[in-house]
Chain A
Amino acid sequence: MSANGHPQDVDIGIVGDGFGALLVYTTAVYLGFRPEQIGIFGENTNPVQTYQQFAWNLGQTVLRSESESHFLPADWPTFAQMQALAGRDPSPLLRSAGRKFNPGVPEILAEAGLVTKALGYEERVLGGVKVGWIVREEGPPAHFSIYDEEANLLGRAKHAMLAIGHGPLSFPGVYGRAREDPATRERVVQAYEAKQYFPGGRYIVVGAGIASVNEWVNCIDAGAQCVALRRNPHPDEQDLNVPRCLFDGSGIDAFQGLSFDQRVDFIGQVLKGTAPGRRNWAERIRHGQDQGLFEEAIGSVTDIRSGPAGLVVDLKPYDSEDILTFDATGVVCGTGFIKSALSLPLLRRLAETYQVPVERERIVLKTNCGVPPLDREDSRLCMMGITANTVVPNGDTIAGLKYIARRFVGDVARAESLKVRPFPTRLAMQVRLARQTVSALRQIQTTEQLA
Chain B
Amino acid sequence: MCPTPVGRVHTRVSTILMGPAVLALILTLVTGHLDWIVLIGVYLLLGVFLDTTIYSWGLKYQPPWMTFVLGLTEYGLLLAITQLLEGFPNISVLEATIFYWVCWFLAFAIKIVVLPILSLTYLESAGEFRRIEWSVPAQQVALPVLASAAEARQGPGQLLREASGVRARPLESLPAPSGVRALPGDLRK
Known: A243-B144, A296-B157. A187 touches B177 (CB 8 A): yes
Establish whether residues B126 and A296, one from each chain, have CB atoms under 8 Å apart when the complex forms. no
The interface on chain B, measured as residues whose beta carbon lies within 8 A of the other chain's beta carbons, has a size of 69
Using CB atoms, name the residue of chain B closest to A185.
Answer: B178
Once the chains are docked, how many angstroms separate the CA of A250 from the CA of B158? 47
Whether a CB of chain A sits under 8 angstroms from the CB of B137 is yes
Of residues 275 through 301 on chain A, the ones whose CB sits less than 8 Å from some CB of chain B are 292, 294-299
Residue of A196, A247, A249, A298 contacting most chain B CB atoms (<10 Å):
A249
Establish whether residues B133 and A297, one from each chain, have CB atoms under 8 Å apart when the complex forms. no
Once the chains are docked, how many angstroms separate the CA of A403 from the CA of B130? 13
Known: A68-B123, A196-B182. A189 touches B177 (CB 8 A): yes
Establish whether residues B173 and A310, one from each chain, have CB atoms under 8 Å apart when the complex forms. yes
Whether a CB of chain B sits under 8 angstroms from the CB of A361 is no
Residues of B with C-beta under 8 A to A249: 4, 7, 121, 124-126, 128, 130, 135
Q: Out of B3, B118, B171, B175, which one reaches A327, CB within 8 Å?
A: B171
Whether a CB of chain B sits under 8 angstroms from the CB of A350 is no
Least Cβ–Cβ distance between A421 and chain B, in angstroms: 11
Known: A194-B180, A196-B182, A410-B132. A426 touches B172 (CB 8 A): no
Known: A309-B171, A324-B164. A256 touches B179 (CB 8 A): no
Residues of B with C-beta under 8 A to A198: 174-175, 177
Residues of B with C-beta under 8 A to A193: 178-180
Of residues 124 through 148 on chain B, the ones whose CB sits less than 8 Å from some CB of chain A are 124-126, 128, 130-141, 143-148
Q: Out of B7, B148, B177, which one reaches A203, CB within 8 Å?
A: B177
What are 20 A-B contacts with C-beta separation under 8 Å?
A31-B120, A74-B116, A75-B122, A196-B175, A200-B174, A227-B160, A244-B144, A248-B126, A249-B124, A251-B2, A292-B159, A295-B160, A298-B152, A309-B173, A324-B156, A324-B164, A326-B160, A367-B134, A399-B124, A410-B133
Binding site for B on A (CB under 8 A): 27, 30-31, 57, 68, 73-77, 96-99, 185-189, 193-198, 200-203, 225, 227, 233-234, 236-238, 243-254, 256-257, 270, 292, 294-299, 308-310, 315, 317-320, 324-330, 332, 367-369, 399, 402-403, 406-407, 409-410, 413, 423, 426-427, 430
